[in-house]
Amino acid sequence: MGTFYAAITVLAWGTWLVPSQNVKVNGQQVRVFYVAVANLVISGLVASTQDGHQMTTAEFCLAFAGGMVWALGGWAAFAATDKIGVVRAFGVWAPLNILVSIVFGAVLFKEFVALHGRVLVLCLSLLLIVAGVLMIIFSKASGGRTASGRAAVLGWACAAAAGVLWAAYYLPIKVSKANMWIASFPLACGMFVGCSAIVLVSRSSARLANGGAYFRAVCSGALWSIGNYGMLLLVGALGAGKGFTISQLSVVVNAICGIYLLKDPPPNTRAARLALFGCVVATVGAIILGRLK
């Protein structure tokens, strides 16, 4: 089942940006706001089907806090991409997502304590995953702003914050041991409240061009929501460190979609070949990690 959950997560999170990729928005915070809206609706519908399951106030608050953590990670990511560009920012937070999830899994949930002589295999798998992810990310032109001085420091710091926060948002649900299908609703509420606050503070208009744009934005949110359920199931099956790390292979699917659907980078170019090689390297690392007992 772990393989099945991984496939759902990687495919959904690897393609969620595609439907709304060409939708014009007033800042990326608006795009993520619609992710939060779609996720809130879907999680509410799923929770309504779970008869006989109830949450305590503490479990609700923990899951809600996880949603706020996700929204804060989104704010940090927006600030980082504004200051240092998308590629540089992603190159910081994506590997940090992986490394921080491994640390949280080991420290909070005592994962990997029985590896003994296989620690080198664990390190090799992580090295391959991080190296592959970086190849994919830096195969593309930055296409973003390059700041200097205080602005650059702020950009790098925000990218690091996104790496930590986005690696931790699911932890309150795992700590509470609440039913995942129920706990995802307060998680979605926290995401919606946090993303709404970010849109209001940034004074961004959430209005889109037409009905088709709204539909595509919501489709992106639905795909992200499906991937989130897959990730939570994956973490439950394999543990926080292994599960969340494997979920980050969504960047592999994203790269393949970028090359062959969006032509970014164009196929048969040096950048595309580097990205595809990164996909192979990261996938090999994930297979090694997934087979560790």
Q: What is the mean pLDDT of each run of 10 residues along the chain (293 residues)?
A: 89 87 83 93 92 84 95 86 76 84 84 72 88 84 58 88 91 87 94 94 90 94 94 87 86 84 82 90 85 70
CA dist 26 and 34 (Å) reads: 12
Q: Which domain holds residue 138?
A: 2-291
Q: What is the pTM of this model?
A: 0.83
CA dist 111 and 157 (Å) reads: 28
**According to the model, what pLDDT value does residue 60 have?**
93
Tally the domains of the chain: 1
**According to the model, what pLDDT value does residue 142 have?**
47
Amino acid in the structure at residue 83:
K
**According to the model, what pLDDT value does residue 117 have?**
65
Spell 79-115 as b/e; 16+ CB within 10 A means b. Answer: bbbbbbbbbbbbbbbbbbbbbbbbebbbeebebbeee
In 3D space, the residue among 169, 151, 166 whose CA is nearest the CA of residue 81 turns out to be: 151
**According to the model, what pLDDT value does residue 84 have?**
80
CB atoms within 10 A of CB 74: 25
**According to the model, what pLDDT value does residue 143 have?**
47
CA dist 27 and 44 (Å) reads: 27
**According to the model, what pLDDT value does residue 116 have?**
65
> Can you read off the two tokens belonging to residue 275?
């990205």
Q: DSSP character for 20? A: T
